[in-house]
Structure 1
Amino acid sequence: MSTDLDLSGEDRTGTGRATGTGQYVVKALAHGILIVASALAIIPFAYALLTSLKPEEKIFSTMAQIIPAEPTVMNYVNIWMQNPLDRWIFNSLLLSAGVVFFTLLLDSLAGYALAKGDFKGQRFVYLLVVGTLIVPPQAIVVPLYIEMSQFKLVNTYWAVMFLYIANPFGVFMMRQFFLSVPDSYLEAARMDGCSTLQIYTRIMLPMAKPALSSLAVFTFTFIWGAFLWPLIILSDSAMYPLQVGLAGLTGQYSSQWGQLMAAAIIAALPVITAYLLAQKTFMEGIALTGSKG
């Protein structure tokens, strides 16, 4: 009887080589897609950075020269000196920090209750929370503005934050993480005399650091780029966040594009810094969240 294996156990059919070649092709294709996607994300940022280093009069006159022959930082100096950029950055940081704090607190509490709680209507509440994900924020801008007017909160930081705290995506994300925590941990804590609040603060929160880090980065990035609601609810330019303030720098007939590019780079730095600082726990949170349905 013929066999495809010799006495040494080697496969002479070439199936192993074919499988190895197929895996190599798949990996090469995946890396190619990642390289293209990375380039599409990096090229606009690199172009904005290089443009911000060009004198204003040479931005459009030397389009073929991507790298500036005589780089200058005057666009950064001018945008900072001619506009209240420090105030806008402070406002954005304040709003982002407030929303991140309340989001982590409320979403982790709700996620813990929906994952490990046992109460009537728990499934319905979870479906209701997830169902709000399909409602765009723009759809509730008008009723929310009326509500803020009735509470005398128009043109306040609280009004800006009210739309974004208790994010349903964060509730879903934290619930998925807490579902991955074995119930035996909770049972052991109860046997030691821990209350529900103590289990949440002493066991669940320390274990949820990766998920909380991921949620914090997502929330900070979203709030830092928020534009429509702050523009509607705020009337005092001194309270504008950075994105709203920068939008006002675009003139009707002309704009200082070098300064705008410099401002865009400045606006991107906090988001990049937040991701780099939380990169390790951020990736762990992405990997762990959703491991159990």
Structure 2
Amino acid sequence: MDTMLKPAPTDALPAPVPRRRNGKRASPAVRVLIYVLLVAAAAGVLLPFYWMVVSSLKTDNDVVTVPVKWLPHSVVWHNYLDIWRKSQMTTWLENTLILSFAVTALQLFTGSFAAYGFAKVRFPGRDLLFIVYVGTIAVPWQSYMIPQFILMSHLRLSNTLWSIIALQAFGALGVFLMKQYYESIPEELSEAARIDGMSEYGIYRRIMLPLSAPALASLALLTFVNTWNDYLGPLIYLRSPNLRTIQLGLSTFISQYNTEYALIMTGSVLSVLPIAVIFLLGQRYFVEGIATTGLKG
């Protein structure tokens, strides 16, 4: 009986069978070719930005010289001083920053709050309401642009920054992205919090928001870029010169100084620089949020 209860010796156990790899590793020549193609694609994407930065450090004649001079003979740094002297760049940047940060903060709150309701709270007609709400993404803005303008005029918000903030404070795309991310969070966390007596607002604030930092970063970057680059909205609602954004300001500057190509490139660099800095700072969270959005837990 004792012999039967003894464990089998280690030598008697079958050796683990090594798993076969489904795919073979690419040869060094193929890998080198892939890297060369990726470098060429990256160079093609970055080449216009490089030309824009280099042109902002040239004279007007050197910008339009054929063939293109990829390196300036003499660096003209005073272009970055002249653009501030000849334009209202400070006002344009200030208005754009106010709109971008305000709209981004509001969309982060409204998008995450509504997404939590659609993802974690059960109520009648939830799925149908979500489909209808997300379906508004497919509706072009031009179809309801005039009713919005009439509404803002009646509310006396036209020709104020509040008109852009009020119209862009809600976004169906943000709700969709955040809902997909919330659904990847295990439901057991919410159920355990409810059993402990935590309210839905407490679950949203103490559990969901801390866990959704990558998705919030992705939504913040997308919203900030869209608001920063928006041209048609400010063109319709912001008629005062003191309310112009960077995109409207550069448009008027180009029409006024259409032959000063170096200054135009300088203004373009200043309009792109904040977006590039924000993307570089939040790149890791942005990639992580995009990679995890839509995955089920």
Residue number in structure 2 paired with 1:67: 71
Pairs within 5 Å for 1:87-126: 87-126=91-130
For the aligned residue pairs, the C-alpha RMSD in angstroms reads 2.3
Residue number in structure 2 paired with 1:38: 42
Q: CA deviation at 1:63?
A: 4.0
User: Which ranges in structure 2 are unaligned for 5 or more consecutive residues?
Assistant: 1-16
Structure 1 pair 64–242 and aligned structure 2 pair: CA distance change class (3 A): closer
Structure 1 pair 134–28 and aligned structure 2 pair: CA distance change class (3 A): farther
Whole-angstrom CA distance in 2 between matches of 1:56 and 1:244: 23
Q: CA deviation at 1:39?
A: 2.1
Structure 1 pair 161–40 and aligned structure 2 pair: CA distance change class (3 A): farther
Residue number in structure 1 paired with 2:133: 129
Residue number in structure 2 paired with 1:3: none
1:103–1:170 contact (8 Å) kept in structure 2: yes
The letter of the residue matching 1:256 is: E
Q: CA deviation at 1:191?
A: 1.8
The letter of the residue matching 2:168 is: Y
Structure 1 pair 40–180 and aligned structure 2 pair: CA distance change class (3 A): same
| TM-score, normalised relative to structure 1 | 0.88
1:273 to 270, 277, 280: 277
1:248 to 252, 256, 260: 252
Structure 1 pair 128–32 and aligned structure 2 pair: CA distance change class (3 A): farther
Residue number in structure 2 paired with 1:20: 25
1:51–1:261 contact (8 Å) kept in structure 2: yes
Whole-angstrom CA distance in 2 between matches of 1:225 and 1:213: 18
Residue number in structure 1 paired with 2:216: 212
Q: Which moved more, 1:157-166 or 1:41-50?
A: 157-166
Whole-angstrom CA distance in 1 between matches of 2:152 and 2:269: 33
The letter of the residue matching 2:202 is: Q
Residue number in structure 2 paired with 1:284: 288
Residue number in structure 2 paired with 1:196: 200
The one-character-per-residue Cα deviations of 1:30-71 (angstroms, maximum 9, x if unpaired) are 545533432232111000001010012332236432210101
Residue number in structure 2 paired with 1:6: none
Structure 1 pair 92–62 and aligned structure 2 pair: CA distance change class (3 A): same
Q: Does the residue aligned with 1:68 lie in a helix, a strand or coil?
A: coil
The one-character-per-residue Cα deviations of 1:11-34 (angstroms, maximum 9, x if unpaired) are xxxx99x93347974x56654553
Structure 1 pair 76–146 and aligned structure 2 pair: CA distance change class (3 A): same
Q: Does the residue aligned with 2:168 lie in a helix, a strand or coil?
A: coil
Residue number in structure 1 paired with 2:153: 149
Structure 1 pair 253–266 and aligned structure 2 pair: CA distance change class (3 A): closer
1:226–1:243 contact (8 Å) kept in structure 2: yes
Whole-angstrom CA distance in 2 between matches of 1:240 and 1:79: 16
Q: CA deviation at 1:252?
A: 7.3
Residue number in structure 2 paired with 1:237: 241
The letter of the residue matching 2:135 is: G
User: Which ranges in structure 1 are unaligned for 5 or more consecutive residues?
Assistant: 1-8, 10-14
1:249–1:255 contact (8 Å) kept in structure 2: no
Structure 1 pair 163–64 and aligned structure 2 pair: CA distance change class (3 A): same
1:75–1:259 contact (8 Å) kept in structure 2: yes
Q: CA deviation at 1:256?
A: 1.5
1:107–1:171 contact (8 Å) kept in structure 2: yes
The number of residues matched between the two structures is: 278
Q: CA deviation at 1:82?
A: 1.0
2:62–2:69 contact (8 Å) kept in structure 1: no
The one-character-per-residue Cα deviations of 1:72-124 (angstroms, maximum 9, x if unpaired) are 11221111111110110000000001100110000001111111110111011
Q: Which moved more, 1:222-231 or 1:243-252?
A: 243-252
1:141–1:229 contact (8 Å) kept in structure 2: no
Residue number in structure 2 paired with 1:221: 225
Residue number in structure 2 paired with 1:257: 261
Residue number in structure 1 paired with 2:81: 77
1:96–1:220 contact (8 Å) kept in structure 2: yes
Q: Which moved more, 1:196-205 or 1:277-286?
A: 277-286
Q: Does the residue aligned with 1:284 lie in a helix, a strand or coil?
A: helix
Residue number in structure 1 paired with 2:62: 58
Identity of aligned residues (%): 36
1:160 to 161, 164, 181: 164
